[in-house]
Amino acid sequence: MPDRKKTYLFILKLVFSLSIIVYLLTRKAPIPKIIQDLSGVDLFWLVVAFSLHAFGLFASAYRWQILAQAQGDEVPLGYLAKSYLVGTFFNNFLPSRFGGDIVRIWDGSRYSRSLVKSSAIVLVERLTGIIVLFIFALVMSLFRLNMALRIPVIRISLLLGLLGLTTIAAFFLPVTKHLLIKLPEGGIAGKTKHKIIAFRDTILAYRAQKGPFLKATFWAFLLQLNVIVYYFLIGKSLHLNIVFTDYFIFIPLVLLIQAIPISINGLGLREGSYMEIFRYYGIPAHAAFAFSIVDVAFVLILGIAGGIIYITRK
């Protein structure tokens, strides 16, 4: 029965995503216009943009390795890089942008010998990146209040981001542990309680590992800066007239929207968000859709590489 429910849920999310895409293509962004935009792309900037994935892969794997070492796990950098690519492959088919993290948690547990510990490491690795991105958006929005206030998607995303970070911060307050300890013992509930407490304690252990944590955060900053430049170059290849600093506002927020688990890998949500934001600059919907297609195509290429690694590895 649980497997059947998961299948139904997947189908619902797929239908939801495809319904949005069909609506956008038939009502907002004509396919011939999109093809015209893509045919006029500047290949030089497109190649440069794609090449940034190499640094992104290295920075992601290295940051993961730093956090794993701080927990006493020695994991080869190449193994982590391959795991990232495999995770990218699964991201293309799982709900939200972070579905592939389940694969990375499993891969990490081969060295940590603990799914709870591996989950904590991957979560910290993810959270440092998300927090850096959100700080980019929040700080730059203060300098572009007119833009932030005029685009509903940006206002709502900033609010959701603040709410999410507040919830995460509350989870690590001392009072939360006291409340968890008071929960009933025994049975599935008791086992779940102890796993949550162990998960929380593993993450808080980084308070005694300030050096590695700060080093990982620094690499998170470089990684997310690389992400912003990547999207800017995609825009440049499509001749979009958007100021570089504005990418620091809307790219983190679109990535946040993609993480909402109501679609398949953000399909539909991503395209709709770009259309809404690009309208502020006078950029037509078909150009926004073309912008999204380029990004999706690059991720699919990386996903194919990850799929090959997954199939061939032992």
- Which sign does the torsion angle of CA 180, 184, 189, 191 carry? positive
| Tokens at 32, concatenated | 């011939």
pLDDT for 95 equals 59
**CA 259/CA 21 separation, integer angstroms:** 17
Planar angle of CA 304, 256, 37, nearest 5 degrees: 60
User: Which residues does 135 contact at the CB level (< 8 Å), separation at least 6?
Assistant: none
What residues in the chain have per-residue pLDDT under 50?
1
Strand partners, 264: 95
**CA 272/CA 254 separation, integer angstroms:** 10
- Portion of the chain with pLDDT greater than 70, in percent: 96
pLDDT for 245 equals 93
Three-class HEC string of the chain: CHHHHHHHHHHHHHHHHHHHHHHHHHHHCCHHHHHHHHHCCCHHHHHHHHHHHHHHHHHHHHHHHHHHHHCCCCCCHHHHHHHHHHHHHHHCCCECCCCCHHHHHHHHHHHHCCHHHHHHHHHHHHHHHHHHHHHHHHHHHHHCHHHHHHCHHHHHHHHHHHHHHHHHHHHCCHHHHHHHHCCCCCHHHHHHHHHHHHHHHHHHHHHHCHHHHHHHHHHHHHHHHHHHHHHHHHHHHCCCCCCHHHHHHHHHHHHHHHCCCCCECCCCHHHHHHHHHHHHHCCCHHHHHHHHHHHHHHHHHHHHHHHHHHHHCC
User: Which residues does 92 contact at the CB level (< 8 Å), separation at least 6?
Assistant: 265, 299, 300, 303
| Tokens at 214, concatenated | 């700060």
pLDDT for 94 equals 66
CA neighbor of 123 nearest in space, from 203, 66, 56: 203
**Is 273 within 8 Å of 292 (Cβ atoms)?**
no
**CA 224/CA 214 separation, integer angstroms:** 15
| Burial of 134 per CB tally in 10 Å (0-12, 13-18, 19+) | buried
pLDDT for 99 equals 66
pLDDT for 294 equals 95
CA neighbor of 121 nearest in space, from 91, 83, 150, 175: 83
pLDDT tens column, 131-178: 898 889 988 988 888 888 888 888 888 888 888 888 888 888 888 888
